[in-house]
Structure formats: structure tokens, C-alpha cells
A and B are shown apart, each in its own frame.
Chain A
Amino acid sequence: MDFKLNDEQLMIQEMARKFAKSELEPYAAEWDEEAKFPRDAVMKMGELGMMGILMPKELGGAGLDMLSYALILEEISAGCASTGVTMSVQNSLFLGPILKYGTEEQKKKYIPDWAKGKKIGAFALSEADAGSDAANQRTTAVLDGDHYILNGSKNFITSGSVADGFIVFAMTDINKGHRGISAFIVENTFDGFQVGSIEKKLGIRGSPTTEIVLDGCKVPKENLMIGEGAGFKVAMGTLDSGRVGIATQALGIAKAAFEVAAQYANVRIAFGKPIGAFQGIQWKIADMATQIDAARMLVHRAAWLKDQGKPFSREGAMAKLFASEVSMNVTKEAIQVLGGYGYCKSHPVERFYRDAKITEIYEGTSEVQRIVIARDVMKQFS
């Protein structure tokens, strides 16, 4: 048992922190305010290897592991949560399934440019009537010669308006339920592909969330992943890793809020003392610090299990459930520590609070995580 990071991991963490502090943090408020996608910063992250951390070197990736990925994503999310989810979707939800389930041709075609961050990737599973109940897909895919023709629309797609490539799920057999779902790699240049409306959101406003309309979208049949009917397996396998990413994003937001609050508690004077001298504030600081550490340990355990090639579905769900709820609580308490200043945009904690909420919703709501965990636990005791 060893809780220590090695020198390589420490240097990676330090590099990511420095990058986030100088290239993201100073602009995050502006990106939030203007709902601006930080394309330049994302490109720079691509050059540094952050957009394809787990991809093999030969395919333009950094060739690293999940734990290194978590170390970097925590720092990036602390600097800008919107950039954090862009990075997470690119790494876990777009490149992840291509590496795990793609054919050699698909890997050669779709990994290098995305791993280097020259292109952006997205994951289109959700629909208007298929959120938690992801199997309830309405989008269809019909084989016509060399192409599948996709019809339907996808909802709430992160990076939808900026992505060049998408993993899209559609029913190749509407009579087979989740066994009728197939996964496709779709480029935004394919005929019949359209970006629909862009959502106006509470938080992560620098990450565009859009509708995707597939109106007779022509997808070459070699862009089918694995085979017809394997889509649900691709989706669930992908989300297992994705959840560790969102847990890390939640952790990064919590850490950023905590650091602001702890520093503030030392300098804000009330009744002639720094407010950190009052036990009421100390207890908040102690709880925040403890919760953040516990969340980080769950995140690192899930990442470590994945790196060991061991099952981590339950542990990933636990990490996401716990870290997202910690993030919500810590950002709320951080506002409380800053009082009125915390509520106003002159300080970043109100943004952290707005950003944190989404981590309890996407890639499986907290309720869905509890379902995943309980199912696994109950199985063990049956």
C-alpha cells in the first residue's frame, strides 16, 4: 500500500497545475460570462498531450495511464471546469471507445488528430426521451448499400457545436430493445449532419451543449463500431471510464473552491479576528478538507483499478457519486465562508457552485450511480 505519487506523476501534476493557473484560471470567468468555448486553450492542451493522454504513442497520444489522466484533469478542472469537461469527453468518451472497441482502420483514422487536439470529439447518446433510461433510443440507422442512413436527434451533446467527430448511438433494430442499439463514428461533415439549438446553462458555460440533428445522415458502413447491436455495450463500457473523469472534474472544482475559502478565512477580519479563528468557520474548513481528501482517494482508487486491468465499474460509480456530492457541498460552503463576496461575481466561488451541479447529473445522475452501486453490492450478497 502506497499513497505516494512517484516523481514522474508529481512532475505531470505540477505541469498541469502551472498550465491551469496561467492559461485557464485568469480567463475562466470571462469564458463563463460570455459562454465562450476556449478553443485556443484546448489547442494548446492538445499540443501538450492532454487531449489524448491514454492513447498509444504510435497513434499520437501521450501513452499514459488513468491515474496520470486523473492528476491532470483535476488541475485543469480546478482552473476551468468547462475546459475540464471538454478534456474529459475528448479523452474518455470519444477516444476511449475508439481505442477499446474500434477496428485498426478506425483507430488509424480517428485517433491521431483527436489525440493531438487538432480535432474535437463528442459522444451522442442522450435523446429527448433517453437520459437515465439511455436504452430508450429513437434514432434509427438503416443500411443502404455502403452507408448507414441515420435519422433522429440527440440532446445535450457536450462540444456538439465545436466537435469534428462524434460517437453516435442509433437503433439498427427497433424490435430488440438495448440489443438493437449500434454505435457509429460520425463526422460533422457527413451529409445530413446538423447542429441544432445550443443550450443556455447554469454552469460549465464555456462548454457548448447542443442538440444534434441527423436528417438522413450518411455514415460509411465501415464506421460502425464492433457490429450491429453492440452499441449498448460500447456506451456502458465507455461511461464506466467517463465517470472517473467526471468524478475528477468534480474534485477539481471542489479543490479550487476550498483553496479560495481557506485563504479567505485567514484574511477576512470580523469582530477583530480573522474569521478562520472562529470555530464555526474552522469546522467548515475541516469538513471540506476531509471530504475532498476522501473524494480524491476514491477517484485514485478507481483510476488505479483501471490501470491494473481490474473491474472498476462499482468503484468508478462510487467515486463519481461521492465526488460530485462533495463538490456541491464544498462549493456551497465556500460561498458561505466568503459571505456576500462569495455570492457575487467578484470572486470565483459562485461560478464553482454553478459548475459543480452538473457533475451530479451527466454521465449518470447520482440516482443512477446509486443504482449501479446497489446492483453490484446486492449481487454480492444474493
Chain B
Amino acid sequence: MNIIVTIKQVPDTNNITIDPETGTLNREGVPAIINPEDKNALEAALTLKEKHGAKVIVLSMGPPQAEKALREALAMGADEAILLSDRAFAGADTWATAYTLSCAVKKIKDYSLIIGGRQAIDGDTAQTGPQLSECLKIPQITYVQDVKVEGDTVLAKSVFGNVRRMVQAKMPALLTVTKEMNEPRYSTIRGIATAYREKKITVWNSKDVDAKPMRIGLPGSPTQVRKTFSPKHEREGKVFAGAPGQLANDLLGVLVDNNYV
């Protein structure tokens, strides 16, 4: 079984500030990391590999520097890494990205699962995964917190808001996972050394994956960002009043509605 894990290198937004004037990110000196939920996706793939035996292929579209993210994925235990890198990919929105990834997946050809993180912390759209499954015309299960593989089907627990569903799909299928799913492992020291000394990163450009020029990068992106800005936080706290029992009930209701418990 081959499992493809899609990962994105993102600026560590825990360490980032936004220029209030221009609305752009101050990227200076901000470390680039693997998007956190993509790490959960990789962990899920590695766990399946340990259980069923599988080859885990990490796939990322990004500039040459994204190699570091792929090395880290290899260090955690991925078997192969493919970087989609081409100036022509620049400026892609989620749709162009999904299309580009789908071209690469078609080139990989043999796969049972594609697993990605629910969303990237720099864009927060949660679109690329579902769009990729549409491009490939395969089933998708999103917001996954648990997964089982049996024969040629995948069974996943999907949690959205306070709705929990068990969803079954024929493979190949695509899953997007959330951070609640697992705790990504540390790379071992040996794993890091192997990632740099023994494993290779394959780089593909737009021609390698046979991508149509008008569907990639800026020209292939129907979404255009007109303006970015920091929202002003003007929401006020909510005050509950009443008897203790009622208060506890009200509070619990809010927590449940917001999926905090």
C-alpha cells in the first residue's frame, strides 16, 4: 500500500506578527515549519505503515527551501519525498495548488490513501484537501480523528462541530485530519541522519507532472486576495446569571456547542 501525505511548509505563526499598516506578514526571521496538522497527517500515515506495512510518500509544492520540511518528514519516517517546485507554480491559490498536486499524484499513480492536514495555519482555508480529491475524483473524508484500514476500504471517525460520524470509503480515498487525531512523534537522531545522508528528495517541475500552464500558479488561480487586515477584537465576554446549577448547565451548553468538551 502506498500512502501519500501532502505537506506544506508554513511560517510558524506562533512567532509571527502582522504589519498593521499593510496587513502583510512580517516574515523576517520567522522559522519555517511543517504545517502542524500536516504533521498529524504524517503521524497517521506512519502509524498505518507500522500496522499494515506501507510506503509513505510525502508530497509538497513549494519553493526550493521547502526541502527542509520534506527532510523533516523523512526524518520522522517517511520513505520518499517529492517536491513540486517551479517558478510557474508561484501565486497559486488552493484550486491551482490542488490541481498541481493532482498532476503529481497521477504521476505517482499507485496509491491507496492521500492524507493531509485539515488546514494550513497560514491560510486557514481547509480547501486544498477536498479540492485535491475532486481533481482526482476519489472519495474524501474530512476532519478525521481516527482511521482504520480493512481490505480495500478505509473507515474514519470524522468530527465536525458536535457531530461525530463514522464514514467508510473505498480506497483510494483522501483524508484530512485534525490535531486531535494523534501526537506527532519526534524524529529519532538516526532518522535525521538517514534523511540527510541516505534518502533523496525528488524534484518535479510543471513539465515533469504534465500540468497545463493555464491551470497552475497565478494564471490558474480564480481567487485573488484584495486586501488583508487584522480583525479588531471587539467581542465582549458573556455574563451568565442565575442559580449555580443553572449556571453550570448554561456554561456546559456553550462548551459543548463550541466543541470544547
Task: Enumerate chain A interface residues (CB-CB to B < 8 A).
Answer: 7-8, 11-12, 15, 18-19, 47-50, 53, 57, 62-64, 68, 72
**Chain B residues within 8 Å of A11, by CB:** 68, 71-72, 75, 187, 192, 195-196
- In the assembled complex, how far is the CB of residue B76 from the closest CB belonging to chain A, in whole angstroms? 10
CA distance A64 to B197 in the complex (A): 11
**When each residue 103-123 of chain B gets 1 if its CB lies under 8 Å from chain A and 0 otherwise, what string results?**
000000000000000000000
**Chain B residues within 8 Å of A72, by CB:** 189
> A15-B187, A48-B188 known; 12 other A-B pairs, CB under 8 Å?
A7-B68, A8-B197, A11-B75, A11-B196, A12-B193, A15-B75, A19-B186, A47-B188, A48-B187, A49-B189, A53-B189, A72-B189
CA distance A19 to B187 in the complex (A): 10
Partner of A7, one of B71, B188, B189: B71
CA distance A86 to B75 in the complex (A): 26
- In the assembled complex, how far is the CB of residue B201 from the closest CB belonging to chain A, in whole angstroms? 12
A-B contacts, 15 listed (Cβ < 8 Å): A7-B68, A8-B193, A11-B72, A11-B187, A12-B189, A12-B192, A15-B187, A18-B186, A19-B186, A47-B188, A48-B186, A48-B188, A49-B190, A53-B189, A62-B193
For A18, give the chain B residue with the smallest CB separation.
B186
- Contact of B196 with A64 in the complex, beta carbons under 8 Å: no
For A48, give the chain B residue with the smallest CB separation.
B188
Partner of B192, one of A15, A18, A57: A15
**Chain B residues within 8 Å of A15, by CB:** 75, 186-187, 189, 192
**Chain B residues within 8 Å of A19, by CB:** 186
Tell me the dominant secondary structure on chain A's binding face: helix
Task: Please judge, given known A-B contacts A7-B68, A11-B71, whether A62 and B189 are in contact too, CB under 8 Å.
Answer: yes
- B63-100 interface (Cβ within 8 A of A): 68, 71-72, 75
**Chain A residues within 8 Å of B187, by CB:** 11, 15, 48
For A11, give the chain B residue with the smallest CB separation.
B192
For A19, give the chain B residue with the smallest CB separation.
B186
For A13, give the chain B residue with the smallest CB separation.
B192
Interface residues on chain B, number (Cβ under 8 Å): 14
- Contact of B189 with A64 in the complex, beta carbons under 8 Å: yes
Inter-chain residue pair count (beta carbon < 8 A): 47
Partner of A63, one of B71, B75, B193: B193
Partner of A48, one of B189, B196, B197: B189
**When each residue 40-74 of chain B gets 1 if its CB lies under 8 Å from chain A and 0 otherwise, what string results?**
00000000000000000000000000001001100
**Chain A residues within 8 Å of B188, by CB:** 47-49, 62
**Chain A residues within 8 Å of B193, by CB:** 8, 12, 62-64
For A15, give the chain B residue with the smallest CB separation.
B187
**When each residue 162-204 of chain B gets 1 if its CB lies under 8 Å from chain A and 0 otherwise, what string results?**
0000000000000000000000001111101101110000000
Give the 3 A-B residue pairs with the shortest CB-CB distance, closest first.
Answer: A49-B189, A8-B196, A62-B189
CA distance A72 to B186 in the complex (A): 14
Q: Which of A8, A47, A53 has the most CB atoms of chain B within a 10 A radius of its CB?
A: A8
CA distance A90 to B192 in the complex (A): 21
- In the assembled complex, how far is the CB of residue B183 from the closest CB belonging to chain A, in whole angstroms? 11
**Chain A residues within 8 Å of B197, by CB:** 8
For B75, give the chain A residue with the smallest CB separation.
A11
**Chain B residues within 8 Å of A12, by CB:** 189, 192-193
- In the assembled complex, how far is the CB of residue A156 from the closest CB belonging to chain B, in whole angstroms? 30
CA distance A62 to B189 in the complex (A): 6
CA distance A12 to B186 in the complex (A): 11
- Contact of A62 with B190 in the complex, beta carbons under 8 Å: yes
**Chain A residues within 8 Å of B192, by CB:** 8, 11-12, 15
CA distance A7 to B192 in the complex (A): 10
- In the assembled complex, how far is the CB of residue B150 from the closest CB belonging to chain A, in whole angstroms? 29
Q: Which of B68, B193, B196, B197 has the most CB atoms of chain A within a 10 A radius of its CB?
A: B193
CA distance A76 to B195 in the complex (A): 22
CA distance A63 to B68 in the complex (A): 22
- Contact of B186 with A57 in the complex, beta carbons under 8 Å: no
**Chain A residues within 8 Å of B186, by CB:** 15, 18-19, 48
**Chain B residues within 8 Å of A48, by CB:** 186-189
CA distance A64 to B71 in the complex (A): 17
CA distance A68 to B196 in the complex (A): 14
**Chain A residues within 8 Å of B72, by CB:** 11
- In the assembled complex, how far is the CB of residue A380 from the closest CB belonging to chain B, in whole angstroms? 37
- In the assembled complex, how far is the CB of residue A326 from the closest CB belonging to chain B, in whole angstroms? 27
CA distance A50 to B196 in the complex (A): 18
**Chain A residues within 8 Å of B196, by CB:** 7-8, 11
- In the assembled complex, how far is the CB of residue B243 from the closest CB belonging to chain A, in whole angstroms? 39
**Chain A residues within 8 Å of B68, by CB:** 7, 11
CA distance A130 to B187 in the complex (A): 42
**Chain A residues within 8 Å of B190, by CB:** 49, 57, 62-63
- In the assembled complex, how far is the CB of residue A67 from the closest CB belonging to chain B, in whole angstroms? 12
- Contact of A68 with B71 in the complex, beta carbons under 8 Å: no
